[in-house]
Amino acid sequence: MALLDDLLQKRVFPVELERYCTYAMEQAGLPRDAAAVSARVLTTADRWGIHTQGARQIRQLMKNIRDGRIDATARAGVTAAGPAIAILDGNRAMPLVTACTAMESAIRKAGEAGIAYVGVKRSSHIGAAGYYATMALPHDMIGIAMTNTDPWMTVPGGKGPIMGTNPIAYAIPAGSERPVFLDIATSSVAVTKILAAKAPGKRLPEKWLVDDAGRPTDDPANYPAQGALLPMAGHKGYGLAVLVETLTAMIPGAAFLSGVKCWAFDIPDKTNQGHAFLAINVGAMTPLVEFKARMDAMIREIKAAPKAGDGRIYLPGEMEWERQERARRDGIALPVYVLVNLIRLAEDTGTPESLAAIFH
């Protein structure tokens, strides 16, 4: 592929990548506002260096629209609401837009009530849960976002995939220090990391998997055809994954465990994922300036702690903020698997020239 060889030599600025992604999704049939929101969510993951959750997912999401698994023009609707809670029916609308709507609702309600929970059913893949958590930051609130996923993870005593990797993400505002930010799967590691580590005879750094008999293993040779991910920290990650499943699916009434269908497989089934969004309005409880000073003091105490060797201590999210700043300044050299997906998206939507034009 001449275009791929060309793009591999070049870089792209995030703002231009976002504009192209909006355009390509419009060409694929998504209304302009939904395309713009979705492009913002996905390219933010690329800004953070989390390319597995970035623009490379657009082509598959657009395939979900063609296959009738996502309804391009639907909108989420409210099925239950109170001063500090709401349940949204995702109505199989574009899931990244639904998630933004839900987080905005949580933020609005927390403005009055101090804290709010919004659960979502009949949704699908939402990319990096962390994006929605960061939406709380401009409002000086703490944001928390979770989703269930189709099953990839076993549980202690079991074998084979039983639960989703059920990520938890949060964002916490600080004062003059950067916000604290985390976006983690409750499994030992993300599926994509294992696939990336696969090579003949190569072992994983730790026993992240179980084999087909349920034995912990560092051998990825037969994964994902056989075996499953282990939970992070054994029964602890399992327990947190059950909490995520409850808040995201059991309260809103979404699918759970084996009932969740993978958005990335070529199957007709609706995914019916569930999500949970929380906003905590710190200023309703303590003077914001004092809270932010305390956050700065905590961050500085952690960073100034004695080091193992001559490295440094990173706060959660610090690596993502540094990568975001580099991306804004220098552009991003996208990895080959992202470029391949973008080129195929461009072919699907008749936009190869527009894609080529954003790389420098």
Query: Where in 156-195 is the site for a second copy (CB under 8 A)?
Result: 156-160, 162-163, 168, 170, 172, 180, 182, 184, 188
Under the binding rule (CB under 8 A), the answer on residue 256 touching a second copy is yes
Q: Angle at the Cα of 125 (from 237 to 133), degrees rounded to 5?
A: 65
Under the binding rule (CB under 8 A), the answer on residue 302 touching a second copy is yes
Q: Tell me which of 66, 198, 203, 307 binds a second copy, using CB under 8 A.
A: 307
The radius of gyration of the chain's CA atoms, rounded to the nearest angstrom, is 21
Under the binding rule (CB under 8 A), the answer on residue 204 touching a second copy is no
Which parts of 72-101 interact with a second copy (CB under 8 A)? 80, 82-87
- The 3-state DSSP class for residue 89 equals strand
- Residue 325 to residue 274: CA distance in whole angstroms: 32
- Residue 120 to residue 307: CA distance in whole angstroms: 42
Q: Compare residues 265 and 314 and give the one whose CB is closer to a second copy.
A: 314
Which parts of 272-291 interact with a second copy (CB under 8 A)? 278, 280-282, 284-286, 290-291
Under the binding rule (CB under 8 A), the answer on residue 313 touching a second copy is yes
DSSP 28-64: TT--HHHHHHHHHHHHHHHHTT-GGGSGGGHHHHHHH
Alpha-carbon distances of 352 from 2, 43, 55, 273, rounded to whole Å:
12, 18, 15, 33
| Structure tokens that stand for 207 in this block | 């026993």
Q: How many residues bind a second copy (CB under 8 A)?
A: 82
Shortest distance in whole angstroms from residue 49 CB to a second copy: 15
Please choose, from the candidates 181, 136, 131, 176, the residue with its C-alpha nearest in 3D space to the C-alpha of residue 283: 136
Q: Tell me which of 224, 253, 335, 352 binds a second copy, using CB under 8 A.
A: 253
**Per-residue interface string for the shown chain with a second copy, residues 29-58, x marking contact by CB under 8 A:** ------------------------------
Q: Compare residues 267 and 313 and give the one whose CB is closer to a second copy.
A: 313
Under the binding rule (CB under 8 A), the answer on residue 155 touching a second copy is yes
Under the binding rule (CB under 8 A), the answer on residue 210 touching a second copy is yes
Q: Compare residues 77 and 316 and give the one whose CB is closer to a second copy.
A: 316
What letter represents residue 103's amino acid? Answer: M
Which parts of 314-343 interact with a second copy (CB under 8 A)? 314-316
Range 48-71 burial, b when 16+ CB lie within 10 A, else e: bbbbbbbbbbbbbbbbbbeeebbe
Find the part of the chain contacting a second copy (CB under 8 A) among 14-22, 96-104, 261-269, 296-304: 296-304
Shortest distance in whole angstroms from residue 2 CB to a second copy: 40
Q: Compare residues 33 and 218 and give the one whose CB is closer to a second copy.
A: 218
The residue with tokens 């070529």 is 266
Range 269-297 burial, b when 16+ CB lie within 10 A, else e: ebbbbbbbbbbbbbeeeeeeeebbeebee
Element (H, E) at 109: helix 95-113
Q: Tell me which of 33, 112, 140, 347 binds a second copy, using CB under 8 A.
A: 112
